[in-house]
Chain A
């Protein structure tokens, strides 16, 4: 294979995807700005996306906090700087690891589900049926999902942060023998509000990114069940890349 042709093909493919995602975002924002999206569908999606996701987010968050404490624990024990345990775990969890891991879990659960759902609707002509019934799929299906994912990933990140700290405190108490009050003192005395807010802004951005990517791939499905499978796969991969790219951008801007 000609390497230049391969590079050219890859470049065109990436440009096609990025362009498509950008256009999808613009179409979503235009439809959302009319404030005429389906409210029932939005409530339903808030429930599906948020309420049904919180067990997995809490589980992820507890272990994330616990792992952060275990990782820093050996150095804390060696140096006796137990007051830094809360700061170290809190800083890492609130600003970085918490939002990223929750975003990845969210992408795997909600984003993939969204792509599969929209893709199946596309291949079974349900999207065409909506249009034939004079209903705009963007306002009826896509905008409610976008709003639900943005709002719910923000709330889930806030909730996840809390549980990550709880997980850290429990690990600190029972594994490292560092009193949980010492751990929380370390967190609250370190003035981590900025990191917390940066983490939440990542939650909003990841939510928007996952929703746009999943809707783009879902609405672009062709080729039946195999096409849906490919779209879900592409959605998970692209969402993960999106999370890391946006994480880098926000971290860079915040520092």
Chain B
């Protein structure tokens, strides 16, 4: 357990304090310090500090090209930063070798922006794949869990279809089922509602909240759809010009005087 008062990270980063005090008894699941990433001459992440506690659902928002996807890929160990430190589920990610990273990734789920379903496998095989590869389960157990996960995302009858036979929203939900099959402790959702209609978007965010509350997993959700992600998120991080520009709850965002924060949240409020 990390106590807020003893937590040097919370002392060092003032804006984390209000957010952390809401879940002071929960252990820290992910802590990022000074994360920096350059692509050539372009800095996409500039000394980003960030922290998530167990059971939180955090919305990561920001304009396109702000570095949100890069941030998630770095946190999953799919890309290395140029500087900084990442502690995930008690492990220092950047000190791990690839094999150790693989073991850590078994505890992490990732839903990709562009689905990234394996197009040469059926939907059922896609969902079953991580569990099969992990080993230790009988085919009957795998089948039962696949059916359970597909039912959770309201797709109980698509098991034998190929990914190209599904709509965008269905693919997103299959991606969600696949990311959940091994009951990860931490799940990243990379723009899970991109290109979806409002009704399907709301469904996806409800599913995220439902999944989180069933398994007490910790979730980081990238989205531009602030209006619809509201019911799902406990707090928000705004990435702007490669840096964390704001972190806090919706109420704090609404009360903020910063014009960029106000523009982001008020625009969505206007839509409501």
Contact = CB atoms under 8 A, between A and B. Distances in A.
A52 to B, nearest CB: 15
Given A132-B108, A134-B106, A125 B133 contact: no
B134 A124 contact: no
Interface stretch (B109-117, B224-232, B237-245, B262-270): B109-117
B76 A126 contact: no
A143 to B, nearest CB: 14
Contacts of A129: 110, 112, 116-118
B112 A135 contact: no
Contacts of B76: 131-132
Interface of B: 73, 76-78, 98, 102-103, 105-106, 108-110, 112-114, 116-119, 129-130, 133-134, 178
Contacts of B110: 129, 132
A125 B116 contact: yes
Nearest to B103: A134
B166 to A, nearest CB: 15
A133 B129 contact: yes
Contacts of B119: 124, 126
Interface of A: 124-126, 128-129, 131-136, 140
Contact of B116 (A128, A135, A136, A140): A128
Residue picked from A124, A126, A133, A140, most chain B C-beta under 10 Å: A133
Contact of A128 (B78, B102, B134): B78
22 contacts: A124-B114, A124-B116, A125-B116, A126-B117, A126-B118, A128-B78, A128-B116, A131-B77, A131-B102, A131-B105, A132-B76, A132-B105, A132-B109, A132-B110, A132-B112, A134-B102, A134-B105, A134-B134, A135-B102, A135-B129, A135-B130, A136-B98
A132 B78 contact: yes
B61 to A, nearest CB: 21
Residue picked from B105, B116, B178, most chain A C-beta under 10 Å: B116
A197 to B, nearest CB: 37
A143 B106 CA distance: 22
Nearest to A131: B78
B89 to A, nearest CB: 13
A125 B78 CA distance: 11
B73 A128 contact: yes
Nearest to B118: A126
Nearest to B112: A125
Contacts of A124: 114, 116, 119
A20 B129 CA distance: 30
A135 B133 contact: yes
B181 to A, nearest CB: 9
A13 to B, nearest CB: 19
B135 to A, nearest CB: 11
A136 to B, nearest CB: 7
Contacts of B134: 134
Residue picked from A128, A129, A135, most chain B C-beta under 10 Å: A129
Nearest to B79: A128
A125 B115 CA distance: 8
B137 to A, nearest CB: 15
List the 9 shortest-distance A-B pairs measured between CB atoms, nearest first: A129-B116, A134-B105, A125-B116, A132-B110, A133-B130, A134-B106, A134-B102, A135-B133, A125-B112
A132 B78 CA distance: 7
A179 B103 CA distance: 67
Residue picked from A124, A136, A140, most chain B C-beta under 10 Å: A124
A55 B239 CA distance: 57
A134 B105 CA distance: 5
Residue picked from A124, A126, A132, A136, most chain B C-beta under 10 Å: A132
A183 to B, nearest CB: 45
A25 to B, nearest CB: 18
